[in-house]
Amino acid sequence: MSLTLHMHPLSSFCHKALIALYENDTPFEICFIDLGDDASATAFKALWPIGKMPVLRDEARNQTIPETTIIIEYLQSHYPGRIKFIPDDRELALQTRLSDRFYDLYVQQPMQKIVTDNIRPAGANDPHGVAEARALLRTACDLVERDMATRIWAVGDAFSLADCAAAPALFYADKVAPLAQDHPNAARYLDRLMARPSFARVLDEAKPYFAMFPG
């Protein structure tokens, strides 16, 4: 098989790439990465020295593709399917890319800051950084709440790259700052995302690992 996704099933960014692969039934293999295992970590960093997951390896084209947004654009270019993750319309494409960056930078990243602070060694916590992250996450969720009052999907009328980003971002954000009370529109959007077969499959496959989530 040409495509291999190097990933961990608990990683929110890996979920984003998996959603895109499952949406179009793209054939691929999974290589599970355990950064706590020296051999696994060494092999992965030989592939991508930055050491951030996921990474897509395409043997047929001799390409190594990091970063979830680039992975999904690569799949659309070289392994297209029924779902077009970035619209042809130039303005919608720009809005889709902006929404994708919004969910990665302003929902995923502050959520991860809050979560990872829970597993820092004693005395190494960063309460100021966590407070900043919570404030940013709250602002981001306020914007999602406003936008999803009149939308089904993140941008336009169709599921896109932006929704691939939104699904794991909001799923984990809901664990550290529950959406339902103050952000009901965002919560309903998350419900729609979780009902999407691609994301439902991702979550089902991740179930055995959720006990490891430190949030």
Tens digits of residue pLDDT in 92-147? 999 999 999 999 999 999 999 998 887 777 877 888 998 999 999 999 999 999 99
Domain ranges of the chain: 3-78, 90-196
Rounded CA separation 119/201 (Å): 28
User: What average pLDDT does range 189-200 have in this prediction?
Assistant: 98
Residue 1 confidence (pLDDT): 64
| Domain covering 90-196, topology | Glutathione S-transferase Yfyf (Class Pi); Chain A, domain 2 (1.20.1050)
Residue 126 has a pLDDT of: 80
Amino acid at 188: R
Instruction: Give the Cα-Cα-Cα angle 27, 28, 31 (nearest 5 degrees).
Output: 165
The answer to whether residue 76 scores a pLDDT higher than 70 is yes
Q: What is the pLDDT of residues 174-190, one digit of tens each?
A: 999 999 999 999 999 99
How far is 33 from 156, CA to CA, in rounded Å? Answer: 35
Q: Which of these, 4, 8, 16, lies nearest to 58 by C-alpha position?
A: 4
Q: For residue 184, what are the β-bridge partners?
A: none
Does domain 3-78 bear CATH number 3.40.50.300? Answer: no
Is 90 exceeded by the pLDDT of residue 161?
Answer: yes
Least confident interval from 36-45, 83-92, 136-145, 191-200: 36-45
CA-closest candidate to residue 17, choices 200, 205, 197, 165: 165
User: Is 80 exceeded by the pLDDT of residue 10?
Assistant: yes
Residue 135 contacts residue 177 (beta carbons within 8 Å):
no
Cα separation, 96 vs 112, whole angstroms: 23
User: Cα separation of 34 and 62, whole Å?
Assistant: 24
d(CA 19, CA 147) in angstroms, rounded, equals: 22
- Residue 215 has a pLDDT of 61
Q: Which SS3 state, helix, strand or coil, does residue 109 take? A: helix
